[in-house]
Amino acid sequence: MEFKSPLSQRIIISFVLLTTVVSGLFGLGITLTIHFVEESLVSEELRRDLVQVLKSHPSESSLELDDTTLFFASNRPLPDYLQPVPPGFTEVVLDRQAYYVYRLVDGETSFYLVRNQTQFEQRETQLVMIVLAGFLLSILFSFLLGRFLVNKVIAPVRRLTHQVRDREKLLTGTPPLSPDYVNDEVGALAKAFDTTIVLLQQALRRETLFTSDVSHELRTPLMIINSSCDLLIEKNSLDDYARQRVGMISKAAREIQELVEAFLALARDRDTNLITASLAEVVQAGLPTWQQQSAEKGLTFTLQNPAEAAPGAFPAILLRTVLNNLIRNAIHHTAQGEISLCLTANGFELRDSGTGIAADEKLRVFQPFYRGEAPHQNSLGLGLSLVQRICEREHWTITLEDNLPHGCLFTVALG
């Protein structure tokens, strides 16, 4: 069975349960011992006293031996409470009075020795109440002691938790955790954290250097490809087919260059200064390209509420990458109709009239390399994943809904 309560609570509960079982068994043992000793000793004492009375007063059928002891014989009328008493020792309680009765059978005659034990029973009751009070106090004390010990025992674990959670452990140059702890289980855990954090630091450093180096080194050959394509297109020696193919190469190179810039920006620190622009400026710069790409597929691209664009400046390359990937995705998955970009005071909304996305796919479309049930032949399944990563980095919010009667609605809130 897996317990979901905090470790401190489980320790306290275990401590209290252990104390409850031990003190409960101890109290029960005391109570049973008292009753056993009481019955054994009193029974033997009453039997001896009864035999002595029979020897001393063989002809008496009713005697008051002292203030607490009476003697009866069955050859005379007996008190009602003695009628059902079996042979041997019996404890009888009448109202608030308690009696010990010993019955001895001799032929057809029974002899009874009755002793008033009210005070003894009261003391016994007091003793049982003391045992019960001690039982309850032991549980309370175990709870308080358990909390005190838990605070002492769990304190190093809590301190380690805060250290791992709060400080910038993924930054290089931070001191290790293990020297602050003794060589026990918590110290071993701190050493394991140190080892894991070092491995994470190395992995993150390798990933950052790889992304930065690759992005940086690809920029030059991509610029050469773009300039070469532009020069070829300007020459009149190319036929229409070759010109179209060169245009496709140039377009793909520009898209790769845009992705390289986005990846390079993601690899940098969030505090790194990036060129900023307003939402309206980014949209106006990309509008001709989006309209051309839509027209090539027979779609209509419309821009709504350009004057309502969200104020403020945003990282231009990241905002442009988000818009380009969302619009490119809408164009790929829309066979006919229109694509509408609506600017709002908080961001923008992008609607398309495509086939839409099934409910079970809406969360998966943002996963890397997920291409859907009917993927586009030129899609790698990275566009929406990149969009989400950028939004998370900039603390933007992206949501996906149905665009009734059909299609998708992507809403991006900037800030």
DSSP 41-68: HHHHHHHHHHHHHHHH-TT-SEEE-SSS
Q: Stretch 212-236: mean pLDDT, rounded?
A: 74
pLDDT tens across 340-354, in order? 999 999 999 999 988
**363: pLDDT strictly greater than 80:** no
Judgement on whether residues 313 and 398 belong to the same structural domain of the protein: yes
Phi-psi sector, 44: left (phi>0), alpha (psi -120 to 50), beta: alpha
Q: Is residue 31 part of a domain?
A: yes
Among 10-19, 105-114, 164-173, the least confident range: 164-173
Q: Is residue 179 part of a domain?
A: no
Cβ-proximal residues to 125 (8 Å cutoff; 6+ apart), any chain: none
Q: Stretch 315-325: mean pLDDT, rounded?
A: 89
Helix or strand or coil: residue 251?
helix
Among 158-167, 254-263, 284-293, the least confident range: 158-167
Judgement on whether residues 234 and 280 belong to the same structural domain of the protein: no
**413: pLDDT strictly greater than 90:** yes
CA distance 125 to 72: 28
pLDDT tens across 300-316, in order? 999 998 888 888 899 88
Q: Find the domain containing 303 and state its range.
A: 273-413
Q: Note whether 20 and 143 are within 8 A (CB).
A: no
Q: Stretch 148-172: mean pLDDT, rounded?
A: 69
Q: Is residue 337 part of a domain?
A: yes
Q: How confident is residue 377, by pLDDT bands cut at 50, 70 and 90? A: very low
CA distance 12 to 74: 61
Q: Is residue 162 part of a domain?
A: no
Judgement on whether residues 287 and 229 belong to the same structural domain of the protein: no
**246: pLDDT strictly greater than 50:** yes
Q: Stretch 279-285: mean pLDDT, rounded?
A: 91
Q: Greater confidence, 10 or 390? A: 390
Judgement on whether residues 54 and 129 belong to the same structural domain of the protein: yes
Q: How confident is residue 173, by pLDDT bands cut at 50, 70 and 90? A: low
Q: Stretch 126-153: mean pLDDT, rounded?
A: 84
Beta strands in 296-337 (DSSP E): 300-304, 314-315
pLDDT tens across 182-210, in order? 777 777 777 887 777 777 777 767 766 66
Judgement on whether residues 66 and 113 belong to the same structural domain of the protein: yes
**411: pLDDT strictly greater than 60:** yes
Judgement on whether residues 20 and 137 belong to the same structural domain of the protein: yes
Residue 342 pLDDT = 93
Among 71-85, 250-264, 327-341, the least confident range: 250-264
Residue 370 pLDDT = 60
Q: Which two three-digit tokens encode residue 133?
A: 């009070």
Mean pLDDT of the chain: 79
Q: Is residue 2 part of a domain?
A: no
Q: Greater confidence, 348 or 389? A: 348
> How many independent structural domains does the chain possess?
3
pTM for the full model?
0.50
- The Cα diameter of the chain in Å comes to 151
Share of the chain above pLDDT 70, in %: 86
Share of the chain above pLDDT 90, in %: 11
Q: Is residue 314 part of a domain?
A: yes
Q: Is residue 328 part of a domain?
A: yes
